[in-house]
Amino acid sequence: MYKIYKHTLPDGRAYVGMTGAKKIYDRWGYGAGYSRQPRFYNEILKLGWNNILHEILEEVEDREEAKKREQYYIELFETYIPEKGFNVGGKNKAIHKQKFVVEIIETGQLFENQSAAAAWLGVSKQAVSHAIKNNGKMKKKYHLRLREVESFEKK
């Protein structure tokens, strides 16, 4: 059985997803399951998982049908539009040519990716990834976050 679900933030922006997990809470992981979707994950960290509305929209037997129904809801709620949600896809896929960079909050310095930030900081890529997932705090004096940018130019 596949579940199509929707997470809605207090401001109305939403994320629509689909899972075949028997226990949907295992998929959601109190928000940790979205760490690879930085725009949505950063909102989860900011607001807290319990301040987001979680609802199951539909259950279907077949995986292919579940994918179609997920896409239907993404387009219905227009969650592919950044002002309305966090999904990538839908009618306007071109909207999602986003670029995320790593930012050192204290200095505003930007890095093209986690590997570049790790090299500059003298730590592992895993340490940078862990810091981003844990409110940006590193053992060193810096705080990190992912930042969405239109484009990025290496210096």
pLDDT in tens, 108-146: 888 887 888 888 888 888 888 778 776 667 766 788 887
Residue 68 corresponds to which amino acid? K
Query: With 60 as the cut, is the pLDDT of residue 96 above it?
Result: no
pLDDT in tens, 20-68: 877 777 777 778 878 878 889 889 999 999 999 999 999 999 999 999 9
The residue ranges of every structural domain in the chain are: 2-89, 99-149
Residue 8 CB neighbour total at 10 angstroms: 17
pTM listed for this prediction:
0.59
Is 74 within 8 Å of 17 (Cβ atoms)? no
Tell me the fold of 2-89.
GIY-YIG endonuclease (3.40.1440)
Q: Kindly state the tokens that stand for 9.
A: 């933030």
